[in-house]
Amino acid sequence: MNDSTPKSFFTPLTVAGTRLYRQVLKLFGISTIETTESIKILSDLCLAQTARRTRYYEEKKLPGALLQAFSVEPLAAGDARFIGRESELERLTAAFEMWRAGHNSMIAVTGPQGCGLSSFLRQLEGTAGAGDTLRYGKLTRRPYDINDTLLILSEFIGLEQAAVTTDELLEHINNLPPSVLVIDNGHFLSCRVMGAHAAIRVFGAVMVATQQRHLWVLGCEEFAWRRLNYIYHAERFFTDRIQLSMFNEQELDECLSLRQQVSGVVLNTEMESKSREMQDTLELPTLYKLSSGKPDFAFFYYLGALQVNPENKQLDMSRSVALDFGALKSLISEELFTLAEVAIHGRLTIDDHCALFRTSREQSWLLLERLYQQCLLDKDETADELGYRLVPVYSEVISRYLTNTNYLY
């Protein structure tokens, strides 16, 4: 989406806002020595934030069936929109067979945020054998001490009252029928907050101590897995790690075509021709290059290019414009380090940030909120406490920039 508002109107406001922000940072004792250029207001970048994206699609009046088909929510087992991953599913099936044969196994499934990790894990319900018991759970909070770990795992196995000791928890888990235990959102186990190390070690120890009876499958985002492996040598405890990647061009084409078909919204020949013309005139030659194979990013560009013709109520396609991430180059080191820790942890609360950077709550709130206002962070209100995460749609772009500038590894 092109911003038709003249830049000259915003420039003085942006410069003044940036100066005020740096003055406030100095009052809190945060260095702003780095030379930075004025941050441009990029309305199209902000449209990818979750709440604004929803309103954006509503204003475009796109058919509900189309939006449902292109939903970014994880796909349930057997969903017709799930494509690819044949070799990865075969490896998982082989791991199931080894476990059934009596071999102790623990499997890690890793990949970049947005690659379809949760959808892949949900397909395990169809992969497990008819006689297998499968329990799927998704971490929604981070364990900060051993009691948190006991509570989280007690809830996972369905205990009405949380186990008080590790031995009690182990007894309950080993009394369950042999099961495939799938834990999603493993990035919540990546935590540098002081005191959390014991909680994470106990979490891992419970998995290792019960693997003779159960097959544990842990899904974890790539950067969080690297941190777990660096600190705890996590890879040594897993018999296999299945790595998911973004879609290649063929897989992305199949994904988009299938979702368009599932929506029931038919594209006429004239529109398909416009689609080809649109792709030919993009700065980047294809939708695949724009999104780097990240499905939700491709959906954002695709749906953003569609509009309802007011005359005939049919869908027309306009020229898409690549998002401008120039704001990243204007960030100071504290902001870049904050983005890096959000990328690794998956989600940070204000208190998490305070503990990591040893700042006051006001300093942490200021930094996180500033990055949110720049549309580089999104707010996650799914848990009890407000958290901040990289904007999911283009998190890979931010992570790549942080990696290239040595803030993330």
Model pLDDT for residues 121-165, shown as the tens digit of each residue = 999 887 766 567 899 999 999 999 999 999 999 999 999 999 999
Hey, what are 312's tokens?
A: 């005939």
CB atoms within 10 A of CB 360: 12
The more confident residue out of 197 and 37 is 197
| CA atoms of 396 and 404, how far apart (whole Å) | 12
pLDDT at 282: 40
The arithmetic mean of pLDDT across residues 244-254, rounded, is 92
Mean of the per-residue pLDDT values for the chain? 84
Q: What is the pTM of this model?
A: 0.82
Burial of 291 (0-12, 13-18, 19+ CB in 10 A): buried
Q: Please measure the distance between the N-terminal and C-terminal CA atoms of the chain and give it in whole angstroms.
A: 32
Cβ distance 199 to 153 under 8 Å? no
pLDDT at 130: 59
Q: What is the pLDDT of residues 339-350, one digit of tens each?
A: 999 999 999 999
Domains and CATH numbers, the chain: 7-41+325-404 (1.10.10.10), 86-243 (3.40.50.300)
pLDDT at 44: 73
* Alpha helices per DSSP H over 145-232: 146-156, 166-174, 196-209, 222-232
pLDDT at 129: 61
